[in-house]
Amino acid sequence: SQQGEEDPQALSIQEGENATMNCSYKTSINNLQWYRQNSGRGLVHLILIRSNEREKHSGRLRVTLDTSKKSSSLLITASRAADTASYFCATALLNDYKLSFGAGTTVTVRA
């Protein structure tokens, strides 16, 4: 079974708007990661947040982590057409090499 579940499944926004997606998970984690996938391609790592961190920024990306609620959010600010992609969260458990992915959020940015 998948550890992480993203919400919403799909998101359509206008260029320049912000996009927010959420990830919930079931068990205690070592870290949580966000990836982007363009259609028919491999995944690209965006950002990693450790279990003892609450917020992290990278360019137009902001990730939060709430371990008490077992949830994370990814915010993309000032979206661009190039941000159109699927976004996945992935969790790494303590003392385990497994990296488990959710089903993803498909983001469409309209020009």
Partner 1 sequence: DGGITQSPKYLFRKEGQNVTLSCEQNLNHDAMYWYRQDPGQGLRLIYYSQIVNDFQKGDIAEGYSVSREKKESFPLTVTSAQKNPTAFYLCASSTDQQTGNTEAFFGQGTRLTVV
Determine, following the binding rule CB under 8 A, whether residue 27 of this chain makes contact with partner 1.
no
Least gap, CB of 40 to partner 1 (angstroms) = 7
Buried b / exposed e across 19-58, counting CB within 10 Å, b at 16+? bbbebbbeeebebbbbbbbeeeeebeebbebeeeeeeeee
Which 70-89 positions form the footprint of partner 1 (CB under 8 A)?
Answer: 88
Determine, following the binding rule CB under 8 A, whether residue 98 of this chain makes contact with partner 1.
yes
Determine, following the binding rule CB under 8 A, whether residue 39 of this chain makes contact with partner 1.
no
Q: Which two tokens stand for residue 71?
A: 């949830």
Which 54-73 positions form the footprint of partner 1 (CB under 8 A)?
Answer: none
